[in-house]
Amino acid sequence: MNPEPTPSSSRWNRTAIWLAVLLVLHVVFAVVMVVVIPRQKKTFDEYNLQLPWLSKTVIDLAAVYTRFWWLILPVQLSVTVVGVIFGRHAFRRPTPGTVFALIVLIVLLMTFFVTAVAFDLPQLKLAEGLAK
C-alpha cells in the first residue's frame, strides 16, 4: 500500500499556505517589536518600574530591531520564502521544507511566548503597585 504521489498543484497549495502563515507571523513579530514593545517600555519608564532581566533583554532586542527593521525584516522574509520553496520543491519529498517551516514556526511562537512572559511580569507588578 504505497501512498499516491502528491500532485504538483497540491504541493504548491500547501507551500503557499505555509508561506502565508509564516509571513503573517513575521509581520506580526515586526509590529510587536517596533510598536508594542516601545509603548510598553514607555509605560514602565513613566512609573519608574524595575524590570527583570528578561524584560530588559527583550526591550534591548526590540530597540535593535526598531533601528534596523528595514534590513532585518526583508532578510527574515527572504530566508523564509527561499527556505520553504527550495525545501519543498527541490526534493521529491517535502520533508526538508516542512522541517524548515516548522522550525521557523516554532521559533516565532517561542519568541511571542517569551515576549509575553517578559511583559506580563512587570505589567502584573505595575497593576499590583497601582492597586495599593
Question: What's the pLDDT tens digit per position in 95-106?
Answer: 676 777 788 888
- The answer to whether residue 48 is domain-embedded is yes
* In a domain? residue 13: no
> Is 75 among the domain residues?
yes
What's the predicted TM-score (pTM) here?
0.77
pLDDT tens across 78-129, in order? 888 887 777 666 555 656 767 777 888 888 889 989 988 888 888 888 888 8
22 within domain boundaries:
no
Residue 19: inside a domain, yes or no? no
Rounded-to-integer distance, Cα 99 and Cα 8, Å: 19
State the Cα–Cα distance between residues 57 and 112, nearest whole angstrom: 14
Residue pointed to by grid coordinates 512587570: 122
64 found inside a domain: yes
Q: Which residues of 37-67 are buried (b: 16+ CB within 10 A; e: fewer)?
A: beebbeebeeeeeebeeebeebbebbeebee
Q: Is residue 8 part of a domain?
A: no
Whether 98 maps to a domain, the answer reads yes
pLDDT digits (tens, 9 = 90+) for 16-40: 888 888 889 989 999 999 999 999 9
Q: Indicate the SS3 state at residue 8.
A: helix
- How many domains are there within the chain? 1
Q: Which domain holds residue 33?
A: 29-127
